[in-house]
Amino acid sequence: MPSKVPAGETRGWIVPIGGAENKENDRRILARFVEVSGGSEADIVVIPTASRLHETGPRYEQLFRELGAARVSVMDFDTRRDCHEAGRLQRLEEASGVFFTGGNQLRLTTLLGGTPVAKVIRVRNAHGVTVGGTSAGASILSEHMIAFGDDGSSPISGSVRLAPGLGLTNRFVIDQHFRQRDRLGRLLTALAYNPFAIGIGLDEDTAAFIGPDNSLEVEGSGALTVVDAAEVAFTSMDLVDEGQPICMLGLRVHLLVAGATFNLHTRIASAGNLRVPRE
């Protein structure tokens, strides 16, 4: 469950990224992550545990340093025992930003889930620390996580498996590489299980910057798909056999690009600083 925000304080930013964010020419997403983590005073911990590539952590360390962060550390975890080390917990207490790289989200949850590290990150976010991640590192940020599922545009019974995520918020379910891997169907299936949550589908090189007021702003070159199931009147999830398509009535869908916003509390979308055509 999300940690309670203490009286007089504000929750930190939550920044899910759809994967394959631009690291060369236009690094606006990573640059903004540094900005909301403290700018020139940013102190960032990179957690590359989802990836099995040794160069992943050092690559992000270099990127954040080049973007002006004051201090960047890479903290990997090979066993659950690592998550109890006092030195690692202290380092996380000092950070103003925590960033999870891509890879396999189940590797992250099986190593970090239920450990002091997961608790510290939730508590620090409730005290104002920015927490973000890309690809698998985006999926784990919410309470409900898509562990794996089938690609395709239609919701199919049994095609998605959910698992507990890090639990920074229970307001949304994330899917990433959204348009590139045709993942609308699996996000809809996840919402058929849990219509309370808001579905957020992130294209590659696209991020949602979710502020302390639960207002989401889109950054990057792709689109963000919001699927709001709050007014769903009917789903056939409990009526169909596994492998069969699901009927869902009453969904609301918004397609947002850079500058557009969505409030996770009021569920109202806005074109933001985009020009809205007159009727």
**Residue tagged active-site, from 21, 61, 204, 219:** 204
Does domain 14-270 match CATH 3.40.50.880?
Answer: yes
Decide: 33 and 137 in contact? Cβ < 8 Å.
no
Q: CA quadruple 146, 149, 154, 158: dihedral positive or negative?
A: negative
Instruction: Express each pLDDT in 49-77 by its tens digit.
Output: 999 999 999 999 999 999 999 999 999 99
pLDDT score, position 272: 87
pLDDT score, position 273: 77
CA dist 96 and 70 (Å) reads: 11
- Nearest residue to 45 (alpha-carbon basis) of 115, 116, 94, 107: 94
Reading the block at residue 136, the tokens are 């698998």
This model's pTM is above 0.75: yes
**Residue tagged active-site, from 37, 51, 135, 159:** 135
Instruction: Express each pLDDT in 160-214 by its tens digit.
Output: 999 999 999 999 999 999 999 999 999 999 999 888 899 999 999 999 999 999 9
pLDDT score, position 88: 98
Q: Which residues are CB-contacts of 34 (< 8 A; sequence separation ≥ 6)?
A: 42, 44, 64, 67, 68, 69, 97
Residue 9: CA count within 13 A, CB half-sphere: 15
**Residue tagged active-site, from 96, 139, 143, 177:** 177
Share of the chain above pLDDT 90, in %: 92
pLDDT score, position 1: 67
177 flagged as catalytic: yes
Tell me whether strands 224-228 and 198-202 are parallel, antiparallel or unpaired: antiparallel
Decide: 36 and 14 in contact? Cβ < 8 Å.
no
Instruction: Express each pLDDT in 108-126 by its tens digit.
Output: 999 999 999 999 999 999 9
What's the chain's length in residues?
A: 279
pLDDT score, position 58: 98
pLDDT value at 229 more than 60: yes
Instruction: Express each pLDDT in 242-272 by its tens digit.
Output: 999 999 999 999 999 999 999 999 999 999 8
Q: Taking all residues of the chain, what is their mean pLDDT, rounded to a whole number?
A: 95
* Confidence label for 139 from pLDDT (cuts 50, 70 and 90): very high
* Confidence label for 3 from pLDDT (cuts 50, 70 and 90): confident
Share of the chain above pLDDT 70, in %: 97
Higher pLDDT, 71 or 274: 71
**Any idea what the Cα angle at residue 269 is, between residues 27 and 13, rounded to 5°?**
45
Phi and psi angles of residue 40, each rounded to the nearest 5 degrees, phi first: -70, -15
In single-letter form, the type of residue at position 233 comes to A
3-state secondary structure (DSSP) of residue 188: helix
pLDDT value at 37 more than 80: yes
pLDDT value at 279 more than 70: no
pLDDT score, position 195: 87
For residues 81-107, average pLDDT: 98
